[in-house]
Each structure stands twice: as C-alpha cells, then as structure tokens.
Chains A and B, each alone.
Chain A
Amino acid sequence: MEPLDVLLVVQPQILRDGITKILEEESGFTVKYATENIQKLTQLSLSSKSVLVLDLDIPEIKASEILVQQAENSPEAGILAISSEKNPDRVKNIIKAGASGFLFKNRGASVLINAIKSVSEGKEYLCDEAQQIVSGQTHKLTIDGKNIIELTKRELEVLVLICKEMTNREIAEQLNISVRTVDAHRRNLLQKTGAKNTAGMVKYAIKQHIYEP
C-alpha cells in the first residue's frame, strides 16, 4: 500500500519534531515536509495521497488564505487544522474555508493519527469539542427576548457539575476529560456568563434554570 504523505506546518520545533517521530513510526505515514515557514508551503504542490497538518497557532498565520489557495492548487489533498484556541468562530471559519478536519491540541497523538487517516480517506474529522461547536449543539440563554449567551453542551455539563460543588479533578474524572480541559471550560464559562467567580456562575445557573438546587 502506498504510504500517506504528511506535511506538517507546526510550531514550536519540539512539537513539530515530536509529531514527526510519532508519525514516522506509525505504519503507512511518510512525513514529507515539516516546517514552520508558511511561505514554503505555497511552493509545494500536494498529491491526492497527502494530508497537510496546519497549526493555526503560528503567529500571523492567514489560515483562510492558505486553505483557499491549497483548495485551488491541490483540491484532493486533505487539510487538518490544529489549534489550542477554542474559538467557535475560528473553527467554523476554518471548516468553511476548506479544512477537512479540526483538532484541538489538548488531545493525544493517537487522536491526531486517527484524524489524519480520516482526512486522507476524504472524510471530515472534527474532535468532539469542535464537533459540538460546528453542529451547533449549543445552549442559547435568552434574556429579554434576545440570545445573549451561547454555551456548548460540554460547558453546560461542566456548569451543572460546578453547581454540584465538584472540583476540577472530580469533573475531569466524571466527564473523562483532562483537568486542563475542565479549567478551560471554567474560564469560558466565567467569561460568557460575566461571573466573577464560582459563586457567580452558580447564581447564574440557578437564575437561568440550568441547575435547580
């Protein structure tokens, strides 16, 4: 079977080199190119049997432009975007611009391998959190007839467990996610609800009938 060419545009170098080694040991992958230099990417033509892993955290990256250009130059190649930033608009825009997949960096290498395989087969791959964002599994809270806050399904789950006085570690265990992910949800919840602290979030959840004590 012909190996799958992978092109990594990833930063920083430790992450890029580590991913390169992981993929090279995985049967069926050849890391053809690994760089942080976006300019070099425009000089490459991707075959249909290739996947570009594009790190959206590279400063000043114009991901949408790259995606549009790659879609024109190499329409059959798969493009998988990776990012630490969980910005719903960013996920939606990147998918709209032509990425075949989206993966947050808080997932392990085995998830990355599965994502690359899916994208190479022409399938769309979204990690669970990105999927929730794109499929609109969100909860809109309405005040005075206006939608003012949109919470993802996962954020709602975390909010309810916070109301049940669970710690980040207990929530992580219950939802089978990392403590860091719980913390990210907690920060997003604080920002979205406008609460100053946990007590404020609980008060908000009760007021919005998300949680009943």
Chain B
Amino acid sequence: MRILLIGDTCLQNDAVKKLLISQGEWEIRQITPSGLINQDSSPVHNQFKLSLLDLSSVTDNFEEVIKTVRQIDMAANLVILHDNQPDDLTQKMLAAGADHCLSTNAETEEFIKTISTYTER
C-alpha cells in the first residue's frame, strides 16, 4: 500500500519514513507541501491509500493547505502529524478535511496503529 508523506526533509520526517518502511507493507513517497500544490502534471486521483501531512512543514494557513490537499485528492485518507497542537486547532484541522490528527509526541506503537487503521480503510 502506498502512503504519501507531505513534508520537508528533516530528521522527524526521515524517522517517520523509516518507521513506516520498516513495517514492510507500505511504500512511501515524499513531497513538500509546496511541491504538492505546484505540481506540473495533473495528480492521479486516489493513487495513495493515505496522505500523511507534516504540519511543521506548512508555512501558509494550515486550514487552506488541508483543504487544498483534500481537493487535489491523491489519497483516500488524510492524517495530520503535528507538534502538540491544542484541541481547538485540531478541531479546525478536522473541520478542514483531516480524518485524524496525531501528535508527534504519540508513542510509536500508537503512530503505527493509526496509520494501519487508515491504510486498511
């Protein structure tokens, strides 16, 4: 199953990629948020099972970015990875189109379990 990691290159995202790849059942492609929004070619509808958006890589209005990711519609599900955002902000993320918001402070087991849930849907 294919997962699209939307985020810049950094230690956190490389760690996330490695954890997912090491599960043995997921193939990961990474793209920056601006790269996703400014793609030259037309994106293929639902070519990924899940988009995983690293919120710390988002520099513009995050609600707009989430809506845009939804509109581009490259994946069936959208999970946001964030740095301990307060509840009201996670509610805004869900309202903008995210299926789930997951803190980077989550335990690895919970992280993998969440990803599994959304790739099996």
A residues with CB within 8 A of B: 12-19, 21-22, 25, 82, 105-109, 112, 168-169, 172, 178-183
- With known contacts A18-B18, A169-B34, A178-B9, A13–B107 Cβ distance under 8 A: yes
Residue B57 at the chain A interface, CB threshold 8 Å: yes
Number of A-B contacts (CB under 8 A): 84
A179 touching B32, Cβ below 8 Å = yes
B11 x A179 contact (CB < 8 A) = no
Interface residues on B, range: 20 to 34
1/0 per residue, CB under 8 A from A, across B1-32: the answer is: 00000001111101111110010000000001
0/1 interface trace, chain B 44-60, chain A, CB 8 Å (1 if under): 00000000000011010
Given A107-B11, A108-B10, A108-B11, A180 and B59 contact (CB-CB distance below 8 Å)? yes
Question: Within the assembled complex, what's the spacing in Å between the Cα atoms of A18 and B22?
Answer: 9
Contact mask for chain B residues 96-121; partner A; CB cutoff 8 A; 1 contact, 0 none: 00000000111110010000000000
Inter-chain contact B10/A107, CB cutoff 8 Å: yes
Q: B105's closest neighbor in chain A, by CB?
A: A12
Interface of chain B: mostly helix, strand, loop or mixed: helix
Knowing that A14-B19, A179-B59 touch, tell me 16 more A-B residue pairs with CB under 8 angstroms: A14-B12, A15-B12, A18-B16, A19-B11, A21-B15, A82-B11, A105-B12, A106-B10, A108-B10, A108-B11, A178-B8, A178-B32, A179-B32, A179-B33, A180-B57, A180-B59
CB pair B56–A112 under 8 Å, yes or no, is no
B41 within 8 A of A: no
B16 touches A14 (CB 8 A): yes
> For the complex, what is the distance from the CA of A186 to the CA of B17, rounded to whole Å?
28
Report 8 cross-chain contacts, Cβ distance below 8 Å, ordered by A residue: A12-B105, A16-B15, A19-B11, A25-B18, A105-B10, A108-B9, A178-B8, A178-B9
A21: which B residues are within 8 A, CB to CB? Answer: 15, 18-19, 22
Q: B42 an interface residue at 8 Å Cβ cutoff? A: no
Q: With A19-B11, A108-B10, A180-B57 in contact, is A14–B34 under 8 Å at CB?
A: no
Complex contact A179–B57 (CB within 8 A):
yes
B15 touches A17 (CB 8 A): yes
Residues of A within 8 A of B32 (CB): 178-179
Contacts of A181 in B (CB 8 A): 8
Residues of A within 8 A of B10 (CB): 105-108, 178, 180
| B residues 82-99 in Cβ contact with A at 8 Å | none
Task: Check if B56 sits within 8 Å of A180, measured CB to CB.
Answer: yes
